[in-house]
Amino acid sequence: MNLRFPIHRVNAFAAVVLSLAIPSVWADEGGISFWLPGQMSSLAAVPGEPGWVLPMVYLHSSSSAGAGRVFPRGGRVTAGVDGTADILLVAPTYTFAAPVAGGQASLGVGIGGGRPKVGVDATLTGPGGVTRTGSESDSRTGWADLYPTGSLKWNRGVHNYMAYVAGGIPAGSYSASRLANLGLNHWSLDAGGGYTYLNPKSGMEFSTVLGFTYNFENHDTNYRNGVDGHLDWAASYFFKPTMHAGVAGYFYRQVSGDSGSGATLGGFKSSVNGIGPQIGYMFQAGGKKYYANLRAYKDFSAKNRAEGWSIWATLVVPLGK
């Protein structure tokens, strides 16, 4: 097989899809972590074409945990969660034509918003130690935080390498008294590297990205998330030069515990794994090259977090000539 369709920046969204904070799905305070496991997938480290590109990502997620499992949220300890979220993100990204350190550099920023819905079976403790009981739910529509990112990518035949750094700027919709939030209300810094094996003759592709997140304190709740480690991976086969399909997954581990006076449950270190199918399609329209990707994940072996499933739909739109 010969992949003659040029591989453009099919995964420019990957390093900047960081603002999709989904209540009760992931770890850390309020079930929200800076890094969303599974956001990087196939072709993650493949260099792209110079110029502007606009990745657009829609994410739907659903998760739950039984009443016997407790979570810190908004200065409280809640028992049992049931949450869904619909998030839309755009991440305008510019790729430089001139090499930087022998690789291809790009800069972008993630901007988005959506609507999370959260329900809890009971609120055990509130601010000031006040005990509350009974079910409670919350939903809101608002903006997510801002997430700038930068990356360097190198190509060496069938081998592709990437280094990236990303930050979280707390500018999204947030209130310590709300169950449903889109913003994290704290600064974050994430960095890591990735590798993609892409063989045009065999049509085989494999990608993996490893990174770590350092979180600063949420001063409204005196809660500081621990350091998070994450490994996203994907493998696919190009059935034809413009279409590939396969499997994607992730491993997420909190390597240090939560801290601060608001961390009433202690370190609350968490972990989760996920796996699911994916399909990608490259096409031309108006003389420009586009890329669409659809994938789904199912969580398993979760610890100190809710389990659920998510669907990611991505369209990468070129803005240049």
Give the tens place of pLDDT for each residue, 136-178.
788 999 999 999 999 999 999 999 999 999 999 999 999 888 8
Q: Which residue has the higher pLDDT, 69 or 213?
A: 213
**Rounded distance, CA 124 to CA 223, Å?**
18
Q: Strands (DSSP E) along 91-221, which ranges?
A: 93-95, 104-125, 136-139, 142-143, 147-156, 159-168, 188-199, 204-215
And the tokens for 117?
Answer: 């819905």
Question: How far is residue 313 from each of residues 9, 38, 119, 143, 294, measured CA to CA in Å?
Answer: 16, 12, 25, 19, 5
Residue 4 has pLDDT above 70, yes or no: no
Beta bridge partners of 106: 95, 151
* Average pLDDT, rounded, for the chain: 84
**Rounded distance, CA 25 to CA 114, Å?**
15
CB 63 within 8 Å of CB 20? no
What is the chain's length? 321
Q: Which long-range contacts (CB under 8 A, 24 or more apart) does 211-215 make?
A: 211/35, 211/164, 212/255, 213/33, 213/34, 213/35, 213/188, 213/189, 214/188, 214/189, 214/190, 215/28, 215/34, 215/186, 215/187, 215/188
Q: Checking phi first, is residue 176 left (phi over 0); if not, alpha (psi -120 to 50) or beta?
A: alpha
Name the phi and psi angles at 121, rounded to 5.
-75, -35
Report the pLDDT value the prediction gives residue 306, as an integer from 0 to 100: 79
The arithmetic mean of pLDDT across residues 187-196, rounded, is: 96
What is the domain class of 14-318 according to CATH?
Answer: mainly beta
Domain range summary for the chain, segments of one domain joined by +: 14-318
Report the pLDDT value the prediction gives residue 24, as an integer from 0 to 100: 34
Name the phi and psi angles at 127, rounded to 5.
-55, 135
Any alpha helices (H) in 139-187, and if so which ranges?
none
What lies within 8 Å, CB to CB, of 190 at 6+ separation is: 18, 34, 35, 165, 166, 167, 168, 211, 212, 213, 214
Give the tens place of pLDDT for each residue, 40-67.
999 999 998 899 999 999 999 998 776 5
**Rounded distance, CA 299 to CA 70, Å?**
18
Residue 198 has pLDDT above 60, yes or no: yes
Burial of 4 (C-beta count, 10 Å sphere; 0-12/13-18/19+): exposed
DSSP tag of 300: E
